[in-house]
Amino acid sequence: WKITTFELERNRHSSILNKLGINKANYKSVLEENSPRGNYFRKKIARQEIVDESFDGFLDELSANIVRNQVPNYEYIGRTAKALRQSPFGNFIAFPLEIMRTGNNIISQSIDEITSGIPELKALGLRRLLSFGTTVGGIPFAMTEIFKAKNNVSDEEMQALRKFVPEWSKNSTLLPVGRDENGYIKYIDFSYSNAYDTLIRPFNTVVNAISAGGADKESTMESLGKGMQEGITELLQPYTSESIFTEALVDSTI
């Protein structure tokens, strides 16, 4: 996946440089220009600490930097997280941390490209942001609506379903897949296989809490506060819960 992403990003930026008329022959002079393209690439070299400032070296290091910061890499989770990962607690801490880090970096990269003043880079940034937004929020929403329509499940039934699902699925993306012989809804927990669920789960928690609250302002604000608290608690759970082995050991001995 990392190799594929590297080649994709290198091809993207190589194509953009060609469209801008930047090549091996004039690359150095472009970096000295007081223009949007010169300013953008100078900032990239300085911010990403690119050492090889040759044309091919710049493309390689720029693409590699994007891979390091936009594809999960467990070497970047920090010393505290690494120490916690080796302890009997928080054994799944690396994954949600990396999803949050890379998600933030994808948005930051998109903003850099959109505000670069270079039309070709702006188009790339918009595509990157749209793709990320679709992956994080659009796909779960679209799949839920498709399954609801296909199996004739209403919003009221989905809200009722959340009152009966297990605790760990309460704020998940639920897909209704049909009904049993008694007419009860059967579902699958899409969040189980959605890598970016960490980024949308707190939002779902808030929405569900508000939906379950009363209609007046006071109860709605109370639901909002409770939803935010539940969202943060759920997000931090991988950091504080014991590992499967430790839990089993404690349950069987103490």
- Could you read off the pLDDT of 110-158 as tens digits, one per residue? 888 888 888 998 999 899 988 888 888 888 889 999 999 999 999 999 9
Structure tokens at 151: 């199996």
Structure tokens at 179: 């009904």
- Could you read off the pLDDT of 1-39 as tens digits, one per residue? 899 999 999 999 999 988 888 888 888 788 788 888 888
Rg (CA), the chain: 23
Structure tokens at 35: 């223009």
Structure tokens at 246: 């430790």
- Could you read off the pLDDT of 45-85 as tens digits, one per residue? 777 667 666 888 888 988 999 999 999 988 888 887 778 77
Total H helices, total E strands in the chain:
12, 2
Whether pTM > 0.85 for this model: the answer is no
Name the residue with tokens 């994808």.
Answer: 106
Distance CA 125, CA 107 (A): 9
Q: Please name the amino acid found at residue 242.
A: E
